[in-house]
Structure 1
Amino acid sequence: MTRVSGRRPIRSRRSRARVVPLTQVPPKRLWIIFWILAAGLLGLVGRMAWLQLVQAPDLEQRARQLQTQRTQPLGQRRPIVDRTGRLVAMDEKRFRLWAHPRYFNMPGDAPNLVRPAEDVAAVLADPLARPAPALLRAMGTQASGIKLAEELDPETADRIRALGISGLDLEAYPQRVYPQASLFANVVGFLNAERQPQAGLEQSRDGDLARHEQTRYLRRGADGTPLPANLAPGAFYGDDLRLQLTLDSRLQQVALKALAEQVAKWKAQKGAAIVMDATNGELLVLASTPTYDPNRYWDFPTGRFREWSVQDLYEPGSTFKPINLALALQDGAIQATDRVNDVGKLMVGGWPINNHDKKAHGLVDFATVLQVSSNVGMVQAMRRLDDDAYWNWMERLGINQRPDTDLPGAVAGQLKSKKQFTSQPIEPATTAFGQGFSLTPLKLVQLHGMLANGGKLISPHITRGFRSGDALAPAAAPSGQQLLNPEVTRTVLQWMESVVDQGSGKGVKTPGYRIGGKTGTAQKALNGVYLPGAKICSFVATLPIENPRYVVFVVVDEPQGEHAYGSTVAVPVAKQIIDALLVVERIAPSKPAELNKLLNS
């Protein structure tokens, strides 16, 4: 048998599976693994219980904070509009721009990169309309909290926000704006830099003008969707109330312009004009000059911030004569057909009383007494009224009481005591021609409104209340306390009409219309002493006489010049106001034939 050298036996290429012998796991090791797993499971259960039962309120609160958007109220105020809805005062949103240089970073920059202030100043120069070097100087070396700009409008704020620069903060705040400027400054007032009301309706109606606002909490989902849960009642309530005035900006503008021109022409101290609807007491005009711009109140003296026609007292003079005649008629002391003897001069209690023209007019009726503005004739008429009854009437008229009005700062007049009035004959004598007592221009308008509306003492006012949206409040209903007989007031108005037709009120005569009026040129008193040469010129008108509704009053304080009288100083202003009133209120002519004849001539 041949043997092959060098060869090893050939093994099978199929490897055999290795068999690992199984050994029994010790029970002790199994228990160790079991307790480890049990402890882990118990720890998870305990942690879940801790989160669910103990930490749940805190975690829920933290989650709500992340999910909730909080909106703080800006402290806005309700707007004010005139009787036609024109804006008189409103809030506009403004912005302050704060810079924090330590956080300056622009879109596309690395998160940790801090841009130099020069780069940010260069980008802000255009929207702020300020040179970059000026902005850079404003930033200085401060690292944070730098106020770069104030009173930015929303459009400018949007441009800055669109830049996406980190380290710039826009703070929103409301700013009170007065679109009519000085037109209603004497009535509305203004807010100072801290938004504190300083005068007018802004101050007297401060609580009412504050807009209804509350802190709003709105939950949002992860994608920003608002979640309706947990919204407070009224969270989305929109306060759109507006305070509506009775004043008409068209008539106010005419009155203020005419008044300012006359005050300048006669070098007077000041002037005022009032137009009232005698049926309900609504004031259509309450203008005074000099005035101020509430948008720039700091440029004007503080003395202009008060409305003197409701706060300053004066002696009304001859404009009070129609009121006196109405009192005497009402009491039966005189009759409409009576006459008085105007002798030109009287001595009463040792004091001389003269007519302003130093003339004696003889035996005259009461229409003529008003036409020539006879002081002596008025004293003769009012002597027939018992002094005690006379004083009682003055008190019933509320001469010494604050008028019932919504006008801020209104004051009471001054009237001598009853004892002094009845014991000193000079007191009722001077009161007969409108001196020796004092009241405000507003009070005189209220009393002439009583003659116009048939004897009712109404409450003059300038607000109609708050309305929602664009709705306008209706006019107030006729009201007032009946003091005089309507027949008495009609008689006195006819006498006043003769003053316009034949007397010192001719300047307001308008073809086709029946207008009554009375001029006044009174001495000016200060602390009970009459100032030499100082006068107050005034004029009051009522129209139309056949259906009296409107009272127009103009008063000018201390006009200079030899020919300064109510007829020359106040009447021209009243004429311009009446002409505008006839158009704005569409008052039909009293005598259409007369007007047509004039138009066709």
Structure 2
Amino acid sequence: MGRPRVVGRSIPSSTRRRVVPLEPVPVGRMRWVFALLCLGLFGLMGRMAWLQLFQAQALEARARSVQTQRTQPLGIRRPIVDRTGRIIALDEERYRLWLHPRYFNLPGDDPVLIRPPADVADRLAPLLSIPSTKILKQIGDRPSGIKLLEGLDPETAAAVRATGISGVDLESYLHRVYPQGELFANVVGFLNQERVPQAGLEQSRHDDLQRHELARSLRRGADGTPLPDNLDAGVFFGDDLRLQLTLDARLQALAAKALSAQVKKWNAKKGVAIVMDVTNGELLALASVPTYDPNRYWDFSSARFREWSVQDLYEPGSTFKPINLAIALQEGAIKANGQVYDNGMIKVGGWPINNHDRKVNGVIDFATVLQVSSNVGMVQAMRRLPADSYWDWLSRLRLDARPDTDLPGAIAGQLKSKEQFTKQPIEPATASFGQGFSLTPLKLVQLHALLANGGRLVSPHITRGLRAGNALASAGTRQGQQLLKPEVTRTVLAWMESVVEKGSGKGVRTPGYRIGGKTGTAQKALNGVYVPGALICSFVATLPIEDPRYVVLVVVDEPQGGNAYGSTVALPVAKSIIDGLLVIEKIPPSIAQSPG
């Protein structure tokens, strides 16, 4: 057999490749292309130069704003504690609970499923201790932005967050809390809903109570990594300072309870009890009735927000008599063993002045003058002192000046002008038994401390300053301006002790302790006119007499009843306070010795 012949196939002309012969590019076209490329390159270089040289700062700032997260201060306030470290005021984190029904979804649900409000209400009701029907009523048919509750504590908020319900949001905020309730409201004050201080130390010490905080700027890289640069010095510093008071919560509670009971018993308008350390001016208690709860301040009249013991004036009456006798002794107008004649009534400038009981006491010494609270005896004693010298002393005691104190709102007393005081004989006569001028209870405490601490005028105060952590400041040291001779004050204190032993202060006697005191029952003046039947009853005590350390003052305004006196209204409160003070301060019994 022969070899098969291969028959070749013909290729269609339409599928044949066309060979284009190469031709040289025109020189003009190459030049145009090259020129365009060079122009674009120069444009890019110019744009880069513009960004680097002229836009660099603006672009860098824009980048920083995108990369940096700035956190503003929370505005945390420092706590307030008493002298033993007991919390009086602090900031707590609270939460608002918001509901958004259009996003309701429970864990495990399909992401696009929208749960009915009833399902969410059933989950929240046991956690919030409110009926689910009440939750549903508050939701109504609103799709979003429903504030269900405010003031949730962190524990409840954590329980709500743990449910993982979509459409339930928690908004945190700071809330000022006063654990002692109304006990310190009169001096501490409160913050309103906008955290603006409204009264007391919260307002007067606002700057001191602001915790050190700075806005934080945290820069992150492209992957979210924090970059430790551009941080201000001290940005992560946070202090733990607390404002420490001189007040003692135990004594404050005791004083408030006794005072409240007596004000209620006598249907009085108001009352105040003050305990002061005479060596350094620290107040251990400052209780006022009526008061208010700073945690619910909106439930009370705004008239209760002011501390009347430092903001209201009154005529001290017989409680000022020891101060007057000390002035007369200091000036040598009377002698420690001197006497006066009390015939029960005396006329001064045509005005009759009587003893409160209209009794004739005859020739009596100055201890007896205090014991029987003789108005006539005081007029006889103080008229031996020239009126101008008397007025100078009242001014020297800063009777008409604002007390040097950290108590907010303290005001000055009122004293007649020197010309009026010296030209009208009735003025020094009425001033001798504590009328015709006015002061605050705080000022009277300061003046009795002057007698108790050997003649030094100390500044009453209620704060010891800021302390870190759990550290507590110790009591202040002895201080004050020397105004009276120590022997003068010792003599007057002995006379005050006789009031407790033999006079109207017997009710405050405590076995084993030497206590001095003075009762007061003064007419109440309003706009320069005495109000018929309106009285202010008071009692002041100093203890222990052999080494005076504390002054206790109780003032009750307008008690009702025919037997309302300093000895029946104010003295029982002072007795309760003194009994507690002896225990709290561990004051040992006095050494038995006869009054000097």
TM-score, length of structure 2 as denominator length: 0.89
CA distance in 2, matches of 1:367, 1:249: 36
CA distance in 1, matches of 2:43, 2:133: 62
Write the deviation string for residues 365-409 of structure 1: whole angstroms up to 9, x where unpaired.
111111111111111111100111111111111111111111111
CA distance in 2, matches of 1:62, 1:110: 40
- Supply the AA of the counterpart residue of 1:209: L
1:380 is aligned to 2:380: yes
Query: Superposed, which structure 2 residues align to 1:479-498 within 5 Å?
Result: 479-498=479-498
- Supply the AA of the counterpart residue of 2:162: A
Q: 1:27 to 1:126 in 2, by over 3 A?
A: farther
Q: 1:70 to 1:128 in 2, by over 3 A?
A: farther
1:236 is aligned to 2:232: no
Shift of 1:479: 1.8
- Supply the AA of the counterpart residue of 1:466: L
Aligned residues: 580
Q: 1:126 to 1:334 in 2, by over 3 A?
A: same
Write the deviation string for residues 149-175 of structure 1: whole angstroms up to 9, x where unpaired.
211111222223333344443222111
| Residue 8 of structure 1, aligned match among 4, 11, 14 | 4
2:322 is paired with a residue of what secondary structure? helix
CA distance in 2, matches of 1:257, 1:338: 42
Shift of 1:306: 1.1
Give the match for residue 296 of structure 2. Answer: 296
Give the match for residue 532 of structure 2. Answer: 532
1:255 is aligned to 2:249: no
1:472 is aligned to 2:472: yes
CA distance in 2, matches of 1:197, 1:134: 34
Give yes or no for contact 1:493–1:545 (8 Å, CA) kept in 2.
yes
CA distance in 2, matches of 1:364, 1:320: 19
Query: Superposed, which structure 2 residues align to 1:29-40 within 5 Å?
Result: none
Give the match for residue 370 of structure 2. Answer: 370
Give the match for residue 409 of structure 1. Answer: 409
Write the deviation string for residues 415-440 of structure 1: whole angstroms up to 9, x where unpaired.
11112211121111111111111111
- Supply the AA of the counterpart residue of 1:323: I
Give the match for residue 203 of structure 2. Answer: 203
Give the match for residue 434 of structure 2. Answer: 434
Q: 1:457 to 1:159 in 2, by over 3 A?
A: same
Shift of 1:257: 0.4
- Supply the AA of the counterpart residue of 1:272: V
Q: 1:59 to 1:169 in 2, by over 3 A?
A: farther
Q: 1:26 to 1:142 in 2, by over 3 A?
A: farther
CA distance in 2, matches of 1:9, 1:58: 85
2:562 is paired with a residue of what secondary structure? coil
Say which is worse superposed, 371-380 or 91-100, in terms of deviation: 91-100
1:576 is paired with a residue of what secondary structure? helix
CA distance in 1, matches of 2:457, 2:321: 17
Shift of 1:204: 1.5
Say which is worse superposed, 253-262 or 217-226, in terms of deviation: 217-226
Give the match for residue 78 of structure 1. Answer: 78
Give the match for residue 276 of structure 2. Answer: 276
Shift of 1:177: 0.7
Say which is worse superposed, 581-590 or 376-385, in terms of deviation: 581-590
Give the match for residue 597 of structure 1. Answer: none
Give yes or no for contact 2:259–2:289 (8 Å, CA) kept in 1.
yes
CA distance in 2, matches of 1:27, 1:586: 118
Write the deviation string for residues 166-223 of structure 1: whole angstroms up to 9, x where unpaired.
4443222111111000100111111122222221111222222222222222345688
Say which is worse superposed, 469-478 or 322-331, in terms of deviation: 469-478
For the aligned residue pairs, the C-alpha RMSD in angstroms reads 3.2
CA distance in 2, matches of 1:211, 1:521: 47
1:324 is aligned to 2:324: yes
Give yes or no for contact 1:512–1:593 (8 Å, CA) kept in 2.
no
1:377 is paired with a residue of what secondary structure? helix
2:242 is paired with a residue of what secondary structure? strand
Shift of 1:523: 1.3
Query: Superposed, which structure 2 residues align to 1:164-243 within 5 Å?
Result: 164-220=164-220, 226-243=226-243
Give the match for residue 515 of structure 1. Answer: 515
Shift of 1:112: 5.2
Write the deviation string for residues 502-534 of structure 1: whole angstroms up to 9, x where unpaired.
111111111211111111111111222222222
CA distance in 2, matches of 1:593, 1:484: 25
- Supply the AA of the counterpart residue of 1:125: A
Gaps spanning 5+ residues in structure 2: where? Answer: 7-18
Give the match for residue 147 of structure 1. Answer: 147
Shift of 1:540: 0.5
Identity value in percent: 70
CA distance in 1, matches of 2:59, 2:128: 44
2:540 is paired with a residue of what secondary structure? strand
Q: 1:110 to 1:531 in 2, by over 3 A?
A: same
Give yes or no for contact 1:540–1:554 (8 Å, CA) kept in 2.
yes
CA distance in 2, matches of 1:515, 1:241: 39
2:134 is paired with a residue of what secondary structure? helix
Give the match for residue 15 of structure 2. Answer: none
CA distance in 2, matches of 1:125, 1:42: 70
CA distance in 2, matches of 1:295, 1:550: 32
Q: 1:66 to 1:137 in 2, by over 3 A?
A: farther
Write the deviation string for residues 485-513 of structure 1: whole angstroms up to 9, x where unpaired.
11111110111111111111111111211
Give yes or no for contact 2:445–2:553 (8 Å, CA) kept in 1.
yes
Give the match for residue 335 of structure 1. Answer: 335
CA distance in 2, matches of 1:56, 1:526: 75
Q: 1:133 to 1:24 in 2, by over 3 A?
A: farther
1:573 is paired with a residue of what secondary structure? helix
- Supply the AA of the counterpart residue of 1:152: L
2:73 is paired with a residue of what secondary structure? coil
Give yes or no for contact 1:92–1:177 (8 Å, CA) kept in 2.
yes
Q: 1:527 to 1:86 in 2, by over 3 A?
A: same
Q: 1:280 to 1:417 in 2, by over 3 A?
A: same
Give the match for residue 453 of structure 1. Answer: 453
CA distance in 2, matches of 1:114, 1:66: 35
- Supply the AA of the counterpart residue of 1:8: P
1:323 is paired with a residue of what secondary structure? helix
Give the match for residue 586 of structure 1. Answer: 586
Q: 1:347 to 1:104 in 2, by over 3 A?
A: same
Write the deviation string for residues 136-161 of structure 1: whole angstroms up to 9, x where unpaired.
34334444433222111112222233
1:465 is paired with a residue of what secondary structure? strand
Write the deviation string for residues 63-86 of structure 1: whole angstroms up to 9, x where unpaired.
656654443322221111111111
CA distance in 1, matches of 2:458, 2:429: 28
